[in-house]
A and B are shown apart, each in its own frame.
Chain A
Amino acid sequence: MSPALRPHFSTAGLRQGARAAFPAFPGFIMFALAFGTAASQKGLSLGETLGLSAFVYAGASQMVGLEIWQSAWTPSTILTIMTVTAVVNARMILLGATLQPWLKDEPLARTALNLFLITEAGWLVGTRYHSEGGRDVGVLLGCGLVLWVVWLVSTFTGFFAGALVPEPKRFGLDLVMPIFFGVMLVPLWKGAKPALPWLVAGLVSLVVHALVPGYVFIIAGALAGVIAGMLIE
Chain B
Amino acid sequence: MSMTGTIIASPWGAVLAIAAMMLATFLCRIAGVVVMSRVRITPRIERGLRALPGSIILATILPVVLDNGWPAIMALTAAIVAMAATRIDIVGLAAGLGTLAVIRALG
Contact = CB atoms under 8 A, between A and B. Distances in A.
Interface of A: 22-23, 26, 45, 47-48, 51-52, 55-58, 61, 65, 69-70, 72-79, 81-83, 85-86, 89-101, 103-104, 111-112, 115-116, 118, 120, 124, 127-128, 131, 169-173, 175-176, 178-189, 194-195, 197-202, 204-206, 209, 217-222, 224-230, 232
A100 B45 CA distance: 13
A229 B51 contact: yes
A213 B43 CA distance: 35
Q: Which 7 A-B pairs have the closest CB atoms?
A: A225-B55, A96-B32, A221-B59, A229-B51, A73-B13, A172-B100, A97-B32
Contact of A186 (B34, B52, B92): B92
* Chief secondary structure at chain B's binding surface: helix
A94 B80 contact: no
Contacts of B89: 23, 128, 180, 183-184
Given A55-B22, A81-B21, A229-B55, A171 B97 contact: yes
A200 B100 CA distance: 27
B27 A86 contact: yes
B55 A221 contact: yes
Given A82-B24, A124-B57, A229-B51, A96 B96 contact: no
16 contacts: A56-B18, A65-B21, A96-B36, A97-B33, A100-B32, A173-B97, A179-B100, A182-B65, A194-B50, A198-B54, A199-B58, A201-B54, A224-B59, A229-B49, A230-B51, A232-B47
Interface string B5-33: 11110110111111111111111111111
A145 to B, nearest CB: 15
Contacts of A197: 51, 54-55
A183 B25 contact: no
A169 B105 CA distance: 10
Nearest to B64: A178
B27 A23 contact: no
Tell me which of B28, B55, B63 has the highest count of chain A C-beta atoms within 10 A of its own C-beta: B55
Given A185-B80, A198-B51, A204-B59, 11 more contacts: A45-B14, A72-B13, A79-B20, A97-B35, A97-B49, A183-B96, A186-B87, A187-B83, A189-B54, A201-B54, A229-B55
